[in-house]
A and B are shown apart, each in its own frame.
Chain A
Amino acid sequence: MSSEEAVPVVSVRDLTVEFVTRRGTLRALDRVSFDVGRGEVLGVVGESGAGKSVTGAAIIGLIDPPGRIAGGQVLLSGERIDNLPPDQIRKLRGKRIGMIFQDPLTSLNPLFRISEQLIETIRVHSDLDAAQARARAIALLDEVGIPAPERRIDSYPHEFSGGMRQRVVIALALCAEPDFIIADEPTTALDVSVQAQIIALIKTLCRERGTSFMLVTHDMGVIAETVDRVAVMYAGRVAEIGPVRDVVKQPLHPYAQGLMGAIPSLEGQAQRLVQIPGSMPRLSAIPPGCAFNPRCAQAFARCHVERPELIAVGDRRVACHLYDQPSSGSAGAEIVS
């Protein structure tokens, strides 16, 4: 019992993903590590190109050549899955790890009724007969909040609105009762009022089924309201990871601080937004040392030479030399801009 509790559902260890191109090898993920516990929602946030989506794809083995996993491990309930042969990882996909993509219209086949798509998926992963699978599909649609599911199940995807379609996609991901669902920007294509409904649904599923989620998004607002812990990514690396309340209210990493200050909020007075100078480096030109050093107002000599490792600060882990005081005497105090 206790060993079951202790093993995280998904554990990513030093995961490195590289893309071999004509102009050299690009490192899209650089030694990324995190755990997701049972029934936990982990948020992964960052700007475009930070490596959020690649992280999700790497976990379920969807990195296609020229990309490859160049190092590290992915463990699912303690078993390594990153080195499994393709046919075995395919069995895992959907069955134990579900996936929800950004655009609900392209995740559904427009030529088939959703009943066919749901029943097919259920029967692939279980030994229910057609009638049982249909009953189960209707139950799932009901669970994700589709009104009159017994009637709506025979509709085609185009007959649903965007929010309803995303509910169908979530039902599809739940078919095999996976332990872990990767949701890649699940609400980005939706309007705010519908987005709130989908967020509420994800939270309910977590609570009631104990499913773990990895929620990939660029929207800090969604992260703040949905997840338990959050990882802030920058240039393929984890900059800061910790309980969402701490990271949102009091970010430690200078990039996380800039990111939080840059978001216009609905509360407080509308001051000038915090501005991080420049933009994220291209993967072909990641600076030595800390990847954030050219944009960081607090960078000092060490940041330009040595890459910071994730170090524990309270409940959090931060990859920043400012918080690594003991190793060098005056680190953090000297500020060179």
Chain B
Amino acid sequence: MSKRADDELPFVAVRDLRRVFDVSKPWLNRVIEGAPRAYLKAVDGVSFEIRRGETFALVGESGSGKSTVARMVVGLLPPSAGTVTIDGVSMNDAEAAQQRQQLRRRIQMIFQDPYASLNPRWRVGNIIAEPIRAFGIVEGEAQIKDRVGELLRLVGLHPDDSRKFPHEFSGGQRQRIAIARALASDAEFIVCDEPTSALDVSVQAQILNLMRDLQERLGLTYLFISHNLAVVRHMASRIGVMYLGRLVEVSEGKSLFSNPRHPYTRLLLDAVPDVAMVGKAREAVKGEIPNPIAPPPGCTFHPRCPLVFERCRIENPAIIDGVACHAVNAGRVVAA
């Protein structure tokens, strides 16, 4: 139980996380039409670890379950099965309620849409002061005001901005306010769900640089959710690729791009339009993500996979050595 053990213990550990949504028709329809109950497995057995001070990114296309994972990690959504442990404290265990209360303030979230995540009727000063008041981090109005000013300066705004309302700011500035709010409770672990998808590229660059600077200065740990592979490559130290609720590949940041192993990762990398690709021809990508309510049996990627063989249609591959693919694990494919 010594604090020194921190270095070996992962800061965040997610084990076999599952979430099933009931998407059945209403009861009356089921009775009259005889429609069966329908379930959507949004997240299907996802496990990963995040070390202290690193950025772990989850990438995938829409419907791959990355946002659902993020919401379960911060506790906005109860998992159907599996556990989330942050700094040794279980987020699901009823007995750890007391410790969890202590942990809460150290976990914060930044959302995609800075137009929806800030209360339009509150002044920015109050928005940022709310976590400070709620967790009783600083006592006294004057001190709270000072702390808010300090936070605003930290994210590149002016302390006087605390008197303004969110609508007086641009999208990028609002995302800075959201970051200031996340830092207000001295958070150590920040879950960022598509933090720059709603922003223009030049503003996106400002926010990504700010997030990296803050990580360096404050030793933050990020769980970074994005569909944009180039952004993820820029931000993440380790990356998990999701497809239809499953993690198909986990890899150190750089090697995912230099040496993608799972066929889906390769497809994804081939599909991304990149400024470096000007004038080059590329392989055509085939197919789309199947309906998650009735996913294909076995490996869910097999209908689109160029390496498919008999076993893929029957058996769902487990993650071995960072890749969930029968073909790769059986050694049929040598990394390109």
Contact = CB atoms under 8 A, between A and B. Distances in A.
Given A225-B273, A274-B205, A279-B172, A265 B61 contact: no
Interface in A232-264: 244-245, 248-249, 258-264
B33 interface: no
B288 A222 contact: no
B212 interface: yes
Contacts, number: 131
A197 B285 contact: yes
Nearest to B279: A245
Nearest to A261: B205
A245 B277 CA distance: 10
A270 interface: yes
A266 B279 contact: no
A268 interface: yes
Contacts of B277: 221, 224-225
Contacts of B334: none
A310 B282 CA distance: 34
A47 interface: yes
B271 A195 contact: yes
Interface string B31-69: 000000000000000000000000000000110000000
> Main SS of the interface on chain A?
helix
B204 interface: yes
Contacts of A297: none
Contacts of A274: 205
Interface residues of A, number: 45
Contacts of B280: 225
A270 B275 contact: no
B312 to A, nearest CB: 19
A279 B204 contact: no
B276 A265 contact: yes
Interface stretch (A90-98, A127-135, A186-194, A323-331): A186-194
B275 A224 contact: yes
B169 to A, nearest CB: 10
Interface string B83-105: 00000000000000000000000
Interface of A: 47-48, 161, 163-164, 191-197, 199-200, 218-222, 224-226, 244-245, 248-249, 258-268, 270, 272-276, 279-280
Interface of B: 61-62, 170, 172, 200-206, 208-209, 212, 227-231, 233-234, 257, 267-280, 282, 284-289
14 contacts: A192-B268, A194-B285, A196-B285, A200-B284, A221-B277, A224-B273, A225-B274, A248-B278, A259-B202, A262-B205, A272-B209, A275-B209, A276-B205, A279-B203
